[in-house]
Amino acid sequence: MSQPVFGRVLTAMVTPFTADGAVDLAQARKLAAYLVDEQANDSLVINGTTGESPTTSDAEKAELLAVVKDTIGDRAKVVAGVGTNDTAHTLELASQAAAAGADGLLVVTPYYSKPPQDALAAHFTAVADATDLPVLLYDIPHRAGVPIETPTLIALAEHPNIVGVKDAKGNAVASAQVIAATSLAFYSGDDAFTLPLLSVGGVGVVGTSTHFTGARMKALIEQFLAGDVAGAAGANAALLPVFTGVFATQGCMLVKAGLAARGFAPAVLRRPLLPASPEQSDAFVALLDAAGL
């Protein structure tokens, strides 16, 4: 299987904040380097929802992208989350991301307004038409309110700039149908769904727990692709409590709790999110410890 454009393991990186709530660029540099150099990430997704993008300004997004790109250089790629529920704003963020040095774009289904499928197709096509960067579509119906349906994905795959999907739909049959009909690279948008998605032709993961599991997730994927299905299944079983445990509450909250326990920035979040409770934090750190992480 050929190497997909963004590699196998991507992490939707959290955005560190200082105690007074400002974007902490020094910690962002430290975290980005750690994810690439120690957790084997091929690409980082910056300004995704795990990066608390609804609460960061456009200027903060641009500065964060530029800093991360400068930090990791050519050791990994930077994918910018630019999706909103406003096509015009999404186009502005796409242009800004390109200027800041992004290597690709992640564009989520417009949320809350629940556009019908023809409107979804028009939205994604408008973004892809307006950029020279490769685009990942982000299909997450339980948050966006609507899925990108199979015929829509197959039609969108005809666009040369649309190269893949971050698949958080959790429907392996629907994913398999699109994979069979197109050349789209399917990345799991749910850490625990990675191995099932690989089994029908998926290529990797855009992860949350991969802040901690990235290197072992990379090994799991490589085992599977090399034909060691039993080894991959065993690796998956060992990591499954962390894959699922990171979502015991909102994922960003527990990632920041886990990182704080590992010597990174304190777990500061912007409202409406709050830091995980001590009980939630302790439970998640215990899962990391039990998994040898």
Q: How far apart are CA 61 and CA 24, in angstroms?
A: 12
- Is 34 annotated in the active site? no
256: left (phi over 0), alpha (psi -120 to 50) or beta: alpha
- Encode burial over 150-159: b for 16+ CB neighbours within 10 A, e otherwise: bebbebbbee
User: Out of 111, 138, 187, 256, which one is annotated catalytic?
Assistant: 138
Q: What are phi and psi of 96, to 5 degrees?
A: -65, -40
Q: How far apart are CA 208 and CA 197, in angstroms?
A: 16
241: left (phi over 0), alpha (psi -120 to 50) or beta: alpha
Q: Is 47 exposed, middle or buried (0-12, 13-18, 19+ CB in 10 A)?
A: buried
User: Out of 166, 169, 218, 256, which one is annotated catalytic?
Assistant: 166
Q: Find out whether the peptide bond into 272 is cis, omega within 30 degrees of 0.
A: yes
Q: What are phi and psi of 11, to 5 degrees?
A: -115, 135
- Is 61 annotated in the active site? no
What residues are labeled active site? Answer: 138, 166
